[in-house]
Structure 1
Amino acid sequence: MKRSAWRYLWTSEDIRKKLLITLGLLILYRLAANIPVPGIDRLALSQLTQAGGAAGNLVGLLDLLSGGTVSRFSVLAMGVYPYITAQIILQLLMPIIPALEAKMKENPREGQKWMEKWTVILTVPMALLSAVGQINIFNSIAGAPILQIGFSSDLLLSTATALLSMIAGTMFGIWLGQLISEYGIPNQGLSLIIFAGIVSRLPESLNAILRDQQRGWWLAIIMLVILALTIFAIVFVQQGRRNVPVMFPGRRIGNRMSMPVRSNLPLMVNMAGMIPLIFAQSMLTFPAIVASFFLASKTEWVANLAKGVSDVFGGNSPWYSLMYFVMVVLFTFFYTDVLFAQQNYGDNLKKQGAQIPGVTRGGPTQRYLTKVQRRITLPGALFLGFVAVLPFILGELLNIQQAGLSLISAAGMLIVVGVVRDTFNIIDTELKLHGYDDSLIKG
């Protein structure tokens, strides 16, 4: 009889076990997301969640990506993003430091272990820096201290407790993600944790729009239509390819030589995915994090300068969305160039004896493909930048609160679309490995 893939998922003991482990660990993460950081001022926190303007949109974006942990200021308020930032930094250092690149090429397996070890080590100082900066920035946005931190004798113990709890929360989330990748759905741990948080916030975002008594329903319809169109556009761009013709040499079969094979090398319009959004946001908030350390300076001009930098890069400036757009576009090109250089198509095609018609093998092939990749990256980068600032644009045009705008967050939609697609591909691969066939199965 004919059986569906989903029915086979449940009848296969191994796949069912992986799905249940994944679900259980995600539930555990969501339960831990409700544990607040010690010493939080609930009244000041409510003022933060009601902030308007660019700062409110920034808070809403961070709240969405963290799965609502920012609005509760839980121990998981930073999510697993310090780990992702550390991972990106090490990846970007590879082409800059030849020793790292050589280490990865000589022994990829050992190089991967080394990379994983130092990513975790670098995560700790990144999480500490992010925790201090996040607290100071949110204190500034809320207009009242959400959490008082300092290194005076009366604040030292409470500061250490708060920072250690936030760092521990981040490391706990990373550990759960690694458990999911190892015992649940392979290689999807951190992605599924972020995905679960985003999806859990969508009903609340829609409800925030419906609470507007005068225009709630038609605003909700407009936002859902925009959401559907944007998801369609994201899928369309993500699937976009430029097929470069490649000729592979014929193979000798016995005493005969087969004809050369004509194939295509697909180059992606958006190779970088959501990484430019995360990196642009991290780089934009970094000056605000540094400035937050000088907000309480006794020197007036230093305190005023720190306040100005914190306002501009913390989301309180109308220029924030323009800077965000430019940074996303630039980082899309930069990160794509780094990834493309690591692929080294020129040498790989040369080793296989393949050639692009009219292009010399080796270095000229790599330069030609890099030129093509940059050309097709331009529309992808501009699209990514536009979708990134779409919540800010709609916030100004429709005067929607930050909780509603998180419904159409670019980073959120890219993550959701990417994780769903990758998870389905992994499950499909698992089904094939377990002997599942789309044709008739004898029951």
Structure 2
Amino acid sequence: MKRSAWRYLWKSEDIRKKLLITVLLLVAYRFAANIPVPGVNRAAIASIMTSAGGAGNLLGMLDLLSGGTISSFSILAMGVYPYITAQIILQLLVPIIPALERKLKDNPREGQKWMERWTVILTVPMALLSAVGQINIFNQMSQGTSVLSFTFGLTGVNLLPTLTTLISMVAGTMIGIWIGEMISEFGIPNQGLSLIIFSGIVAKIPTHIRSLVSDQQYWWLIFIILVVLALVIFAIVYVQQGRRNVRVMFPGRRVGNRMSMPVTSSLPLMVNMAGMIPLIFASSILSFPAIVAGFFLQVKTVWVANLMNGIYKLFSGSNSWYYLLYFLMVVAFTFFYTDVLFSQQNYGDNLKKQGAQIPGVTVGSQTQKYLTRVQRRITFPGAFFLGIVAVLPYVLGALLPVSARQAGLFLVSSAGLLIVVGVVRDTFTIIDTELKLHGYDESLIKG
């Protein structure tokens, strides 16, 4: 009788050490998440986070990626979001700048180190811009009530407190990145940043559950929500594991005086290669027009005020057109980001170097073109599914009373569901691999 190797999880000293280090570092991160930015007005922040509109949607997304630290405006208010942004920018620049593309192709290991180094360097100015943007957005939404105990600016007596605030926020982001790297190096491998975001999302779920349970009128919704969550999670796992296996022929090898037969293998192409990145892109871009329009709502020129008011209403997330645009943007960005990632894989040249060939397809550029067509075809259902998951909370929310929606309809957002499911699946896979590497293979353990 086979037994699961997971029962040996705590017996392996090395694995136990990695798990303990991971948990302790996550506790340290959550502790640092409660350290406020100097001079913050928490009452003003709390009132802003409950507001609706385009800026509220963007702040909600940033709050998700920062692990819930924006709502308390801690030194980790930006979380690791600037680092993720820097990664995306560099990934998008690679196919645009030929020198970067050649650098990664000629020496992948050195190219990867270069990417990691410049991602960290680019994170600093991105964090600085994000800090200034967050404070300005909060001040704009607070309707005259400053979110800080001083006037934000780089002039006069406000210079020193402003610099102190910006430095503390940038330093908080770098601390979060450092903790993530420590988890990846000494804890669960390659899961540091993902686990940091995951911990913030999971930490907010009990609050939403308490809100639903405490509302005596809509307590029954918790059962409906749990059923919907179970179905959506099952669908996410099913789609995320979806693969299209492309047949590949590897040439035979000479062993002594004999030539081995060609080997048939398969190249798995993912249905959803982009993950939750399209949701971040779409939400940020759709929220930006509402944020800009909010600065011009009070202008004296009538036609400008009316135009800005129309833009604000369209992109404020308060009408069905916004959700239709959101769905279309998620689908479009899924195709765009998948194309960028897939072109960086360069399967055509890699298979050519190995002497492999897809039957009926010429090696080299023709192979890359063929695989690109296949990838785009299988990306369509993945992109369509991602768009449905993105707007599902809003669709369900439109069918329920307002007070039920305010109680926390979906417990976590669409991007949060994708992150939670993806991190849990990847973490289990990594731990299972670690158990096998340490000799705890369930296929070899017999009772």
Using structure 2 for the length normalisation, give the TM-score: 0.89
* Secondary structure class of the residue paired with 2:246: strand
* Secondary structure class of the residue paired with 2:37: coil
How far residue 290 of structure 1 moved from its aligned partner, in angstroms, is 6.3
Say yes or no: does 1:116 pair with 2:119: no
CA deviation vs aligned residue, 1:308-327 (integer Å, no higher than 9, x gap): 76776565676443333222
The RMSD of aligned alpha carbons is 3.0
Task: Please point out which of 270, 273, 287 is paired with 2:272.
Answer: 270
* Secondary structure class of the residue paired with 1:420: helix
**1:97-246 maps to which residues of 2 (within 5 A)?**
97-148=97-148, 149-215=152-218, 217-246=219-248
Retained in 1: the 8 A contact 2:272–2:379? Answer: yes
How far residue 252 of structure 1 moved from its aligned partner, in angstroms, is 2.9
Retained in 2: the 8 A contact 1:51–1:142? Answer: no
Q: Which residue of 1 aligns with 2:83?
A: 83
CA deviation vs aligned residue, 1:219-255 (integer Å, no higher than 9, x gap): 2112111111111110111011112222222333333
391-400 vs 280-289, which deviates more?
280-289
CA distance in 1, matches of 2:115, 2:302: 42
How far residue 374 of structure 1 moved from its aligned partner, in angstroms, is 0.5
**1:33-432 maps to which residues of 2 (within 5 A)?**
33-52=33-52, 56=56, 58-148=58-148, 149-215=152-218, 217-286=219-288, 304=305, 315=317, 319-398=321-400, 399=402, 400-402=404-406, 404-405=408-409, 407-432=411-436
CA deviation vs aligned residue, 1:7-33 (integer Å, no higher than 9, x gap): 423222222111111111100000111
Aligned residues: 441
How far residue 268 of structure 1 moved from its aligned partner, in angstroms, is 0.8
CA distance in 2, matches of 1:436, 1:374: 39
Retained in 1: the 8 A contact 2:21–2:183? Answer: yes
> Which 5+ residue runs of structure 1 have no aligned equivalent?
none
Retained in 1: the 8 A contact 2:290–2:315? Answer: yes
Q: Percent identity?
A: 72
391-400 vs 424-433, which deviates more?
391-400
Say yes or no: does 1:25 pair with 2:25: yes
How far residue 129 of structure 1 moved from its aligned partner, in angstroms, is 1.7
Retained in 1: the 8 A contact 2:278–2:330? Answer: yes
- The verdict on how the C-alpha distance between 1:203 and 1:37 changes in structure 2, with shifts beyond 3 A counting, is same
How far residue 116 of structure 1 moved from its aligned partner, in angstroms, is 1.5
Aligned partner letter, 1:200? A
Retained in 1: the 8 A contact 2:55–2:287? Answer: no
- The verdict on how the C-alpha distance between 1:394 and 1:77 changes in structure 2, with shifts beyond 3 A counting, is farther
CA distance in 2, matches of 1:356, 1:28: 50
CA distance in 2, matches of 1:302, 1:89: 37
Retained in 1: the 8 A contact 2:61–2:283? Answer: no
* Secondary structure class of the residue paired with 1:10: coil
Aligned partner letter, 2:169? M
6-15 vs 411-420, which deviates more?
6-15
Retained in 2: the 8 A contact 1:274–1:415? Answer: yes
Aligned partner letter, 2:67? G
CA deviation vs aligned residue, 1:70-111 (integer Å, no higher than 9, x gap): 221222121101100001100110110011111122222222
CA deviation vs aligned residue, 1:169-194 (integer Å, no higher than 9, x gap): 11110111011111111111101101
> Which 5+ residue runs of structure 2 have no aligned equivalent?
none
CA distance in 1, matches of 2:308, 2:281: 22
